[in-house]
Amino acid sequence: MKIATWNLNSLRTRLPQLLSWLDGERPDLLALQETKLPDPEFPAAELLECGYHALCAGQPAYNGVALLSRVVPNLCFTDFSEFPGLTGFRDPQRRVLAAVCTDVCVLNLYVPNGSEVGSPKYAYKLSWLERLQEVVRALLRRHEYLLLVGDLNIAPEDRDVWEPRAWKDKVLCSAPEREHFQRLLEAGLEDCLRKHHAEGELYSWWDYRNASFQRNQGLRIDHILASASLTQCCLSCHVDKRPRGLDRPSDHAPVIAEFELPAGEPDES
DNA sequence: ATGGCGGCTGAGAGCCGA
């Protein structure tokens, strides 16, 4: 099973690139972020034509997530408020989509950027991440095979940052954000890319400015995390940098992981 | 130190991202 995550920075603008990439890669699952598109305008027909069923949770102009799947996916929820115990936390920003595909529960996230440490948006990010911890713990109790994927907007360690001294304590790299990432690992998730690659200079986002991509000045903020049973089955994980080099690219590149699941394992619910 | 770029809305220039 091949699964991928890609922040498209506008599905409308990137649809031709997406369709061409899907034709080449044929992942079983692709989690999308920053679709920036209300649901009635979601290009479901074009994607189905390409062989993909879709679930989406969008809004105009900002945010928006979607899940593409070769098999028909079963939607679980599109907001943390749909979760027992978190009913007071309805978020008008579309950043969450959870679904079950065959035996795997996939939680697709577009974590708030946070703007600047100490800002109101940063406070929103931290409280959002606090709610996420509860959701992840509950999902891990229910699903042996859990994937948490998406634009987490956290560079977990200095090796995930092109200039750690410049980024120190800045948004995406601050200690409270990194602690949230570590808590996800402590809860029972593993970082699939780090299972296979210890080296630095592996990034998933590069600023449009300053020829950052050409100089490989980036951050690793898009992630594929998996529960222990799934991580055991993870054969490979890598960043596909090719789409970032196309004309009019997204500023993020896809991250791809391959799994070999034992036949006939049931998920529980 | 600041802005660089690019996408959005709505028809300007300003907001937002990371």
Residue A245 CB lies within 7 Å of the nucleic strand B: no
Q: Provide the pLDDT for residue A84.
A: 81
Which pTM value belongs to this model? 0.96
For A81-132, how does the pLDDT look when each residue is reduced to its tens digit (9 = 90+)? Answer: 998 888 888 999 999 999 999 999 999 999 999 999 999 999 999 999 999 9
Question: Strand B: which positions are within 7 A of a protein CB?
Answer: 3-9, 16-18
Q: Report the largest interatomic distance among the alpha carbons of chain A, rounded to a whole angstrom.
A: 50
Answer yes or no: A169 catalytic.
Answer: no
For A151-187, how does the pLDDT look when each residue is reduced to its tens digit (9 = 90+)? Answer: 999 999 999 999 999 999 999 999 999 999 999 999 9
How far apart (Å, rounded) are the C-alpha atoms in residues A249 and A21? 12
How far apart (Å, rounded) are the C-alpha atoms in residues A118 and A174? 11
pLDDT band for position A263 (50/70/90)? confident
A28, A79, A151, A251: which one is catalytic?
Answer: A151
Residue A7 CB lies within 7 Å of the nucleic strand B: yes
Q: Provide the pLDDT for residue A265.
A: 55
Answer yes or no: A240 catalytic.
Answer: no
Q: Provide the pLDDT for residue A268.
A: 53
